[in-house]
Amino acid sequence: MSEKQLTQSQQEFREYCARWLEENKPEPHPIPLPQAAYEVTDPSHLTYLQDWQAKCWEAGLIASDLPKRYGGHDMTDCQAIASAEVRKAGVPYFINWIGLGMAVPTLLECGNEAQRERFLPPIFSGEDIWCQGFSEPGAGSDLASLQTSAVKEGDHWVINGSKVWTSLGHFAKYMLLLARNDKADKYGGITYFLADMDQPGVSVKPIHKMTGESGFNEVFLDNAIVEDHLRVGNVGDGWKVAMATLTSERGAGVGVGAVASESPTLVMAQV
């Protein structure tokens, strides 16, 4: 949207965003940030970036157009304006790029109302970091060959298997998890879950590069528990839901808020 096409209220919001970013641009962290959010391993970097994301959310620069019940700000066609101003400002990236760029659009498209109201606000604030549990050791590029199992027991699922190349797994509170509920159906036997990473059945092992950095992780699920109300979509609809997630990822996080890119710029997304 060009400046000439903005309504008066949108132009005022653009000026507000530019002014707010100029006045609130954080001091650099004493230890230089990695080039991208997926490389962050220092807890002090995490806290610094979470604080920055929370300030931007509270100021209305994240989730500008979404309803307040989702943690949004009930504006109209303003997210793209905030996105453009953040991109120009040269500020730190938003740490919760998987939450903002993948979990949010997935829940908006495929989740239920209770899931949206519970999970979206702490994604926007940066309080709850998210990771993605799709890739598996030895599976190569064939995502549908995943073997992590999901067995229904009463009102919950028991998950066993492992995931690999999991960005932010070492900091994540929740995982977007694909698991197989039916071995006989390659595509229709996959279910999509929101898995709590903070439980005894989940362990995270960093994958160290030759440089010693460890932005990626392997995640082991050993009788991990996921309540059935944390299933996204119907049983067996995981492949369809995963395609919604991957479409968001490949579209630079087409959803709400921001997706971290190389510092100091951001790739921002709009609804």
> Cα–Cα distance between 194 and 119 in angstroms, integer?
10
Please state whether 205 falls in left (phi above 0), alpha (psi between -120 and 50) or beta. beta
The residues, any chain, with a CB within 8 Å of residue 24's CB and separated by 6 or more, are 55, 59
Sign, CA torsion 36/37/43/45: positive
Active-site position among 39, 85, 136, 249: 249
User: How far is Cα 102 from Cα 259, in angstroms, rounded to an integer?
Assistant: 9
Bridge partners (DSSP) of residue 156 are 153, 227
Q: Say whether 220 sits in a helix, a strand or coil.
A: strand
Quote the tokens at residue 235: 């049983």
- Tell me the three state secondary structure of residue 174: strand
Catalytic-residue membership of 262: no
- For CA atoms 118, 123, 126, 129, give the dihedral sign: positive
Query: CA 268: distance to chain centroid?
Result: 13
Q: Looking at this protein, which amino acid is placed at residue 3?
A: E
CA 178/CA 149 separation, integer angstroms: 9
Active-site residues, by number, are: 249
